[in-house]
Structure 1
Amino acid sequence: MEQTQNRSGLSFNAIWQRYGTMGILLLLLAILAILRPGSIFSTESIPQILTQSSVNILIALGEFFAILIAGIDLSVGAVTALSGMMTAKLMIAGLPPAAAVILGVLFGSFLGFINGSLVNATGLHPFIITLGTDAIFRGVTLITSNARSVFGFPASFTVGISSSVIGVPIPVIIALITAVVLGFFTVKTKAGRNIYALGGNQQAAWFSGINVKLHTLLVFIISGTCAGIAGVVLLGRVGAAEPGAASGFSTYAIAATIIGGTSFFGGKGKIFGVVMGGLIIGVINYGMNILTVSSSYQQIVMGVLIIISVFLDKLLATKK
């Protein structure tokens, strides 16, 4: 009897981990289809949802690695804004858009390097470090922009980001390529497997010969790089670099990662789940907009989703 219960318990956990995120997405789509028939499954709404979700997915992909090692990166929104601002400034200074984009993304990587270096040097939890750097990066963004929007860069850049390939928006393609590359990294490389081991048990990982500080640094560089890419995409979509860009996006990134099945306690999660989590956030935002729900309530919904997701993660972990 006990063996049967264990099997059924494991079966329930496996089913939830594999299909829980997909089930949530389908449920949301069904509810919106009932409340606003024709507003979800249309030739206009689907590309719009996917495009809006692309920035959330990109930021969440970086946040995924920070949470995977039982840490967190609260600065991803500020890194997104500052990277976008840097890219815009470079283009206005006369740099070709392609070069400005590359340098903007690399600048995001550098900001991630700062986060990782501070975590390693101080030994403080990433929550404290990235809480501080979030404020610092936001301040730098305001200073470099004089608290004003920056625009006037080449139209070819915004047109390129806003265009589509075979009906698929460029931001969506960028997010998918990034997800595929990072998915390959986590599954097929030694460094990716080491990051999982680090999140599962840092002390055991150290005893097994894994360089904890090096992999911690790598995690935050990846997070900064993804935020840098998101900053470039957001810049192209909006058509201007806003000092307050990506405000609140850290919450979206954390929500997408946790809803996507990544354990807040580290060592468990998949890139595909993060992508699905980002889509869920996009559907929620789109749905609440078409239902004319205030953005204040959207923040409440995100907070509730994070609490419920972490609670379910802890509940299922205790039943194993």
Structure 2
Amino acid sequence: MEKIKKLDIDKLKKGLLNNALLIILGFMLIVVICIRPSFISINNITNILRQASTRGILALGIAAVIIIQGTDLSAGRILGCCAAISASLLQATTYASRMYPQITNGLPLFIPLLISIIVAVLFSLLNGFGVAYLHMHAFIVSLGTQLIAFGSTCIYIDSQKGGAQPLSTLDPRYLNLVKGSFNLGFMQLPYLVVYLFICAVVVYILWNKTVFGKNMYAFGGNPAAAAVSGINTKLTVMLVFLVAGVLYGISAFLEAARIGSVTTTVGFNYEFDAMSGCVIGGVSWAGGVGTIPGVLLGVVLLQTINYSLTYLNVNPYLQYIIKGIIIILAVAIDVRKYLEKK
């Protein structure tokens, strides 16, 4: 009887430790609600979902990179670069200071989207090539790509005829496509949530119903064993970064219209929010572990915390400290799980 009780206590302790971050974040939300009960409102929920959507699409790409024991520090800056391209091509034709005055008729929306995806994929494949063929650590190669993407964004925005200025006054068709919503009766559901859902379903199928997904998890769990078993590890890594690039490009296209004005600051620290959401949602830095529902839950929960801190008028600098603590806790818990398995 005592042994059974001890096992139950140990099991409870293990469960509490493994889910400590979720418990802490949940407690933080309860505190926020107690301080400002008005936080729980349809409007706030809609805003949180809208803000989490583009981060969620970005996180779906980064999650796969983490599953293969990698990381991507360049995702945010790649998003910023592609957002600038999307916004510049889709400024309203009635706007006198638009970047491309020669565009007198609005471009079809799919063209800037396609260009955004292509640019993002090229940057992402550069990361993949460095990891797969040059055997560089993903941290180093993505750090270099981050700087290249940021420099490219600055040059692009600075190249405007009137000098550096925000890329704003966007085409109404573009804004409606991204910022629009439809009536569910009790709330207005943003189109962005639908786009996130579609991306999540496609990525779920790729991860769980294809050979690529099986190879990705196998490689992440044990790269050496995956290579010995006949898996083309180089191709797997390149495909992971290819899919990530597609998702970065889509996220960038949507984010540009969501915020309505693109500057060189767009994309700053986006990758850290996305990675934090992934780890909170159960994606392991040790590789080979991660689910789509977990990623979505982690991103939404993290965005809820971010939104609540702003809602309470917490000092922005203090918010950075809180985010840093959350990241450290998330990784510490993940490392503990990994060491226990070993």
TM-score (normalised: structure 1): 0.91
Rg larger in structure? 2
User: Are the counterparts in 2 of residues 162 and 237 from structure 1 also a CA contact under 8 Å?
Assistant: yes
1:98-156 deviation per Cα after TM superposition (whole angstroms, max 9, x unaligned):
22122212322222122212222321101000000000000000101104322344221
1:71-109 deviation per Cα after TM superposition (whole angstroms, max 9, x unaligned):
100000011111111222333553322221222123222
Distance 1:5 1:224 in 2: 49
Q: Does 1:309 align with 2:330?
A: yes
Which residue of the partner structure matches residue 118 of structure 1? 130
Cα distance, 1:16 vs. partner? 7.3
* Aligned mate of 1:299, from 320, 328, 331: 320
User: Are the counterparts in 1 of residues 170 and 257 from structure 2 also a CA contact under 8 Å?
Assistant: no
1:247-273 deviation per Cα after TM superposition (whole angstroms, max 9, x unaligned):
011111111111111111111111111
Q: Which has the higher helix share?
A: 1
Distance 2:7 2:218 in 1: 26
Which residue of the partner structure matches residue 150 of structure 2? 138
* Aligned mate of 2:181, from 164, 182, 193: 164
Distance 2:314 2:302 in 1: 15
Note the residue ranges of structure 2 that are not aligned, 5 or more in a row.
92-99, 159-163
Note the residue ranges of structure 1 that are not aligned, 5 or more in a row.
none
Which residue of the partner structure matches residue 56 of structure 1? 55
User: Are the counterparts in 1 of residues 179 and 191 from structure 2 also a CA contact under 8 Å?
Assistant: yes
User: Are the counterparts in 2 of residues 115 and 133 from structure 1 also a CA contact under 8 Å?
Assistant: yes
Which residue of the partner structure matches residue 203 of structure 1? 224
User: Are the counterparts in 2 of residues 51 and 169 from structure 1 also a CA contact under 8 Å?
Assistant: yes
Distance 2:128 2:79 in 1: 17
Which residue of the partner structure matches residue 276 of structure 1? 297
Larger mean CA deviation between 99-108 and 189-198 belongs to 99-108
Distance 1:63 1:271 in 2: 12
Is the partner of 1:319 in helix, strand or coil?
Answer: helix
Is the partner of 2:72 in helix, strand or coil?
Answer: coil
What is the aligned-residue RMSD (CA, Å)?
Answer: 2.4
Q: Does 1:250 align with 2:249?
A: no
Distance 1:115 1:236 in 2: 27
Q: Does 1:150 align with 2:167?
A: yes
Cα distance, 1:26 vs. partner? 4.1
Distance 2:27 2:210 in 1: 35
Distance 1:217 1:81 in 2: 22
Q: Name the amino acid aligned to 2:31.
A: I
Is the partner of 1:122 in helix, strand or coil?
Answer: coil
Cα distance, 1:174 vs. partner? 1.0
Cα distance, 1:9 vs. partner? 6.1
Q: Name the amino acid aligned to 2:130.
A: L
Distance 1:12 1:182 in 2: 34
Distance 1:292 1:31 in 2: 14
Is the partner of 1:55 in helix, strand or coil?
Answer: helix
Cα distance, 1:20 vs. partner? 6.7
1:50-78 deviation per Cα after TM superposition (whole angstroms, max 9, x unaligned):
11111221111111011101110000001
Distance 2:24 2:251 in 1: 25
Name the % identity. 30
User: Are the counterparts in 1 of residues 78 and 120 from structure 2 also a CA contact under 8 Å?
Assistant: yes
Q: Name the amino acid aligned to 1:34.
A: C
Distance 2:335 2:225 in 1: 22
Which residue of the partner structure matches residue 262 of structure 1? 283
The count of aligned residue pairs is 318
CA distance 1:27–1:80, change in 2 (3 Å): same
Distance 2:134 2:7 in 1: 43
Q: Name the amino acid aligned to 1:163.
A: G
Larger mean CA deviation between 253-262 and 165-174 belongs to 165-174
Cα distance, 1:169 vs. partner? 0.4
Cα distance, 1:29 vs. partner? 3.2
Distance 1:186 1:14 in 2: 27
Larger mean CA deviation between 232-241 and 7-16 belongs to 7-16
User: Are the counterparts in 2 of residues 183 and 271 from structure 1 also a CA contact under 8 Å?
Assistant: yes
Distance 1:188 1:5 in 2: 41
Q: Name the amino acid aligned to 1:68.
A: I
Q: Does 1:129 align with 2:141?
A: yes
Is the partner of 1:245 in helix, strand or coil?
Answer: coil
